[in-house]
């Protein structure tokens, strides 16, 4: 047999063997991990319900604390706020702006008189026809607000003694308009005019 022909036959057989070894079987499809996302829906719902229950309980606790008798009377709270403004007397503008806001908020809460959003002129005009206050109280309030406006808008720099007078006028107004209390003797509503410098 021709040596060259034999060599070609051996080479062909070797190539066929290599090709046969390279052919592999087809792998089966790998399973897809199908996570049941629908399970998240009830979990999310339960979480929201638990959060809602916690918020309701917190609000209920706050109401119980508020109704437990620890609320400070309106006029006492206003006097406390006024007292806290003394430290601003070295800055007349800040002091007058703060004490005027306290009195306006007190008027709104005490008499449901919507004062904070009105100018002093509008406020006093409506006050004159109102029966919420008597004549001396209206005068006190008018003098007080006009004194504060002089400092806030006219850039007036009052001395310390004048700021003390504004402070005392505010305290006197609150004390004179404080809610009526029951008298122990006759069970009659009275409105005691406590000292201007009432401290709690």
Q: What is the pLDDT of residues 137-168, one digit of tens each?
A: 888 888 898 999 999 888 899 999 999 999 99
Residue 174 has a pLDDT of: 92
Give 163-176 pLDDT, tens digit per residue.
Answer: 999 999 999 999 98
Contact 94, 166 (CB under 8 A): no
Q: For the chain, which residues make up each domain, given as ranges?
A: 74-179
Q: Residue 127's pLDDT band (boundaries 50, 70, 90)?
A: confident
Give 38-86 pLDDT, tens digit per residue.
Answer: 777 888 888 888 888 888 777 766 655 444 445 788 899 999 999 999 9
Q: Residue 94's pLDDT band (boundaries 50, 70, 90)?
A: very high
Contact 164, 96 (CB under 8 A): no
Residue 41 has a pLDDT of: 84
Q: Which uninterrupted H or E stretch holds 182?
A: strand 181-182
Contact 148, 100 (CB under 8 A): yes
Q: Which uninterrupted H or E stretch holds 181?
A: strand 181-182
CA separation for the pair 59, 33 (Å, rounded):
44
Q: Residue 178's pLDDT band (boundaries 50, 70, 90)?
A: confident
Residue 199 has a pLDDT of: 39
Tell me which of 130 and 62 has the higher pLDDT: 130
CA separation for the pair 85, 42 (Å, rounded):
54
Q: Model pTM?
A: 0.56
- Pull the structure tokens for residue 88: 């601003």
Contact 190, 180 (CB under 8 A): yes
Is the C-alpha dihedral spanning 130, 134, 136, 137 positive or negative? negative
- Pull the structure tokens for residue 59: 């609000």
Residue 11 has a pLDDT of: 56
């Amino acid at each position: 047999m021709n040596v060259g022909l034999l060599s070609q036959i051996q080479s062909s057989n070797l190539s066929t063997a290599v090709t046969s070894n390279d052919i592999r079987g087809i792998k089966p499809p790998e399973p897809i991990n199908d996570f049941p996302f629908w399970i998240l829906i009830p979990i999310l719902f339960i979480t929201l319900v638990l959060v809602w229950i916690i918020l309701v309980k917190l609000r209920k606790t706050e109401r119980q604390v508020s109704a437990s008798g620890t609320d400070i009377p309106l006029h006492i709270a206003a006097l406390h706020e006024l007292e806290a403004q003394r430290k601003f007397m070295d800055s007349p503008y800040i002091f007058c702006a703060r004490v005027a806001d306290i009195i306006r908020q007190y008027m709104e809460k005490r008499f449901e008189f919507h004062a904070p959003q009105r100018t002093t002129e509008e406020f006093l005009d409506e006050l004159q026809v109102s029966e919420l206050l008597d004549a001396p109280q209206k005068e006190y309030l008018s003098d007080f607000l006009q004194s504060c406006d002089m400092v806030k808008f006219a850039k007036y720099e009052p001395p310390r003694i004048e700021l003390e007078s504004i402070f005392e006028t505010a305290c006197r107004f609150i004390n004179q308009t404080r809610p009526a209390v029951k008298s122990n003797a006759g069970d009659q509503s009275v409105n005691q005019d406590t000292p201007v410098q009432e401290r709690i």
